[in-house]
């Protein structure tokens, strides 16, 4: 079993993020921008990369990378729900938590082809949840393709979320911070 480490994308590892996204078979066409920017469909790949770099440089959380040693091998997009601009008007993924509740959303996974089917997506989701919790997330949402009616398999499978103790709530899967009992 590989020893996978998960780290948030930051200025310090931007080069690793670009290495993963520009590799063969990787999502270099989207740069995980479709829900982050209202005009994403009109942007070139270079523009999408530049916009993501602006977010990372400004300290906006965008997600986490999985590493096998020093090699970036996977990606999970997890960020505050508000940072995904297109979610504000989504009918298929509406906000159900009050605005004052720190809610983060998992919207995408990507694994380099040689690293698929090895449990790395589970490690990515665990690392993503830990990162969001460390940033104050009270609720974490996911929208797996097989239960949210979304055809994009990059959303992950419901078994991945169930294995991480998310519970299904309609089309979304949710993990809420357990509150200490008084």
pLDDT in tens, 2-48: 689 999 999 999 999 999 999 877 776 789 898 999 898 999 999 99
Pairing state of beta strands 167-169 and 71-80? unpaired
Q: What is the mean pLDDT of residues 161-169?
A: 90
3-state secondary structure of 139: strand
- Which is nearest to 20 in space by CA: 63, 55, 69, 72? 72
| Percent of the chain at pLDDT exceeding 90 | 58
Q: In which order are the strands placed within the sheet that holds 103-111? A: 4-8, 64-68, 71-80, 103-111, 139-142, 172-176, 167-169
3-state secondary structure of 25: coil
Ordered domains of the chain (ranges, CATH): 4-176 (3.40.630.30)
Tell me the chain's radius of gyration from C-alpha atoms. 16
Global pTM value: 0.90
- Which is nearest to 80 in space by CA: 51, 55, 105, 108? 105
3-state secondary structure of 39: coil
Burial 102-115 (b: 16+ CB within 10 A, else e): bbbbbbbbbbbeeb
Q: What is the mean pLDDT of residues 123-150?
A: 87
Report pLDDT for 123. 95
Record the tokens describing residue 13, joined without a space.
């590892």
Roughly how many angstroms between the first and final C-alpha of the chain, as a whole number?
A: 41
In angstroms, the CA 6 to CA 163 distance is: 18
What's the pLDDT tens digit per position in 106-131?
999 999 988 888 899 999 999 999 99
């Amino acid at each position: 079993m590989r020893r996978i480490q998960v780290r948030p994308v930051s200025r310090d590892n931007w080069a690793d993020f670009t290495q993963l996204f520009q590799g063969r078979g990787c999502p270099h066409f989207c740069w995980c921008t479709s829900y982050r920017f209202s005009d994403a469909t009109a942007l070139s790949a270079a523009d999408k990369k530049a916009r993501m770099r602006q977010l990372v440089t400004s300290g906006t959380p965008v997600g986490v990378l999985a590493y096998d040693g020093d090699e970036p091998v996977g990606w999970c997009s997890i960020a505050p729900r508000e940072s995904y601009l297109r979610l504000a008007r989504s009918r298929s993924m509406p906000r159900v938590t009050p605005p004052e509740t720190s809610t983060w959303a998992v919207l995408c996974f990507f694994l380099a082809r040689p690293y698929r089917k090895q449990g790395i997506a589970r490690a990515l989701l665990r690392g993503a949840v830990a990162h969001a919790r460390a940033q104050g997330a009270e609720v974490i949402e996911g929208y797996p393709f097989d239960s949210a009616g979304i055809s994009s398999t990059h959303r992950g499978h419901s078994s991945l979320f169930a294995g991480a103790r998310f519970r299904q709530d309609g089309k979304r899967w949710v993990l809420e911070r357990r509150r200490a009992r008084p």
